[in-house]
Amino acid sequence: MGSKKKLRRFRENQTFDNLIQPDRDQVLKGHSDLSGNWQQRFGNKNPIVLELGCGKGEYTIGLAARNPVKNYIGIDIKGARLWRGAKTAIENQMKNVLFMRTQIELLDRLFAENEIAEIWITFPDPQIKYKRTKHRMTNRHFLKMYHYIMAEQGEVHLKTDSEFLHGYTIGLLQGLGHEILYANHDVYRNEGSPAEVLEIQTFYETRYLESGKPITYIRFRLN
């Protein structure tokens, strides 16, 4: 994407009521007013669902359209990508969708304990090299953070084209005593996956499928 186009999108992002861009330094200092106040922002008491690393927001939009009685927040650090999701939500007058430009590492400062009902992690970078373990979005540190912000009986969903990340996550969950509710190493060839796993696809997912890569899925609960 050209720099001029990015700049136009960044400027337009500033005008979107459904796109929140908290200041990192203020969040780290504990000066954010977001934590604990998300239901007030949506204007209802419906469950709140996060998509982490949402990119252009295709999955956030797809889930929100299917489940109007839930609130969705798509989170990514790339503003030019978030522009697409926020604009689509505005064009479709979707009141149960927000987007936030921030880092995943700040989740426990942006959301209160037990504030979130579900988390979706869709096609994250698997960070295969051992020295990149700390960046894997299902590592011990992130799982602990997710557990803190999630309500009792909350669920996490991982959908990925990485067989490595799928296997790593299952092994870690089992080792830590968490509850794996469902796992499928090839959702389009093996029956049983939920409709929202099969019927919502991102741009990159369609490319993975065209190349014959299996798509994996895990739904789990953190104990």
Tokens of 94: 């979707």
Q: Which residue among the candidates 23, 25, 125, 161 is catalytic per the annotation?
A: 125
Active site residue 125: yes
Q: What is the pTM of this model?
A: 0.94
Query: pLDDT averaged over the chain?
Result: 95
Does position 1 have pLDDT exceeding 80, yes or no?
Answer: no
Domains in the chain and their CATH numbers? 3-221 (3.40.50.150)
Tokens of residue 10, six digits: 């960044």
pLDDT of residue 4: 83
What is residue 6's predicted lDDT score, i.e. its pLDDT? 85
Question: What are the pLDDT digits (tens) for 75-112?
Answer: 999 999 999 999 999 999 999 999 999 999 999 999 99
Give DSSP secondary structure letters for 178-201: -EEEEEES-TTTSTT--HHHHS--
Task: Give the separation between CA 61 and CA 119, rounded to whole angstroms.
Answer: 14
d(Cα 48, Cα 103) in Å, to the nearest integer? 18
